[in-house]
Amino acid sequence: MNRIIPIAAPYIFNLAVLLLICTRWITEFWLSRLNRRHVLANADGVPPAFHGIMDAPTYQKSVAYTLAKGKFTEMEDGYHAAVLIIFLFSGVLPWAFQLFSHGLGQSAWAMAAFLFAVGFALSLPDLPFDWHAQFRLEEKFGFNTTTPKIWWMDRVKGLLLASALGYPLLVLILKMVSWAGAWWWFLAWTALLGFQFLMLVLAPVLILPLFNKFTPLPESSLRERLLELAKRTRFRAQNIQLMDGSKRSRHSNAFFTGFGRFRKIVLFDTLVQQLTEPELEAVLAHEIGHYQKKHIPKMLAFSAAGSLAGFYLISVLTRQEWFYRAFGFAPGNVAPALLLFGLLAGTVTFWFSPLIHWWSRRYEYQADAFAAQVMREAQSLIGALRKLNEKNLGNLTPHPLYSGFYYSHPTLPEREQALAENPI
């Protein structure tokens, strides 16, 4: 009996993984159709709660955009599930591992090349979907402003950056297996954490400018208003910059990035074109609210804890022969375990999405309340949110289950209601 269990373990695990992938895809498809029916049930006219937020033609366009994105996502989800199943169960991954091992050996440099090559190969099936999303779906609804040249250059730059930054990090993590023995997973986690914090500092200065142009916000009443807001909320920022987001899309956003004296406030040029000065101030106050409520370090700490748990779990799996055998690998090398964990992690964490998004939405409510308090009124923020939903054709009537799984932000009606229930 004891011999039967180890022999059967790879097959049992194989079946469990296959069922989990299929269950996730079925759930995603069901949620999409549930949301589709809910949107169509409210598509006859602008619901009374949204009168004054969207006119009838814009509302119908937002419904069409939501339905088109939903249909596209259904195809994409099914395709991704099929590609994952093929990569996991066809034997192509063990074959590639043997190819690299025989040709380059099993050094950290060779195994990092194997992981990098597999990651690149897995990204290729996404290209047709990314292209269609940008040049068909977004183009149809008037959002796309990029060109094929910029689109391809973005991907080339991304690949070069991954090679320059990601490959050495993989080598370092793999070398720690021989350096640290049983505690390699903890040192690997510290290396990843250090790399992430380094990127938080360097990305605004060295990486983001490779993709977008950043220019100081010109001297104006808007600049004075935003600097006064930063001073009033004790938010130190190096400067306020405009980003040429319109080079790729008509969607809009605002964010701050960097730490300490490297921190800067960034506004999309599209956002400045769409909102009034009080509305822009309210949007920035919301972003500062995330900072003052310490949402960013809390989420970084949560992410770090998740990474630590992930590395520890990988270290446990590397000691399980059945885990390797289930996918055709010979036990002993950490690289296949890292690869398999990376491929399977999303299938598991998907089921935690409602909890993670509940936490994120809670932070959004807090940032909204902070903005209203700083502005001493909520109407500017409400006006900004309404315009952003209108300009971005946001879905005003998602099904609650769908938004629970996919929405990191509350819906517009939920945010307005929360602001109304918490008067200044």
What are the catalytic residues? 287, 368
Residues contacting 165, CB < 8 A, separation 6+:
195, 199
- Supply 10's token pair: 């790879």
- Supply 390's token pair: 């209108």
Q: Let me know if 148 is exposed, middle or buried by CB neighbors in 10 A (0-12, 13-18, 19+).
A: exposed
Q: What are the Cα distances from residue 150, in Å, to 87, 144, 145, 231, 385?
A: 30, 12, 10, 38, 30
Distance, first Cα to last Cα, the chain = 69
The DSSP symbol for 249 reads B
Q: CA-to-CA distance for 62 and 192, rounded, in angstroms?
A: 41
**DSSP assignments along 123-168, one per residue:** HGGGHHHHHHIIIIIHHHTT-B---HHHHHHHHHHHHHHIIIIIHH
Q: Are 290 and 296 in contact (CB under 8 A)?
A: yes
Residues contacting 292, CB < 8 A, separation 6+:
233, 234, 235, 370
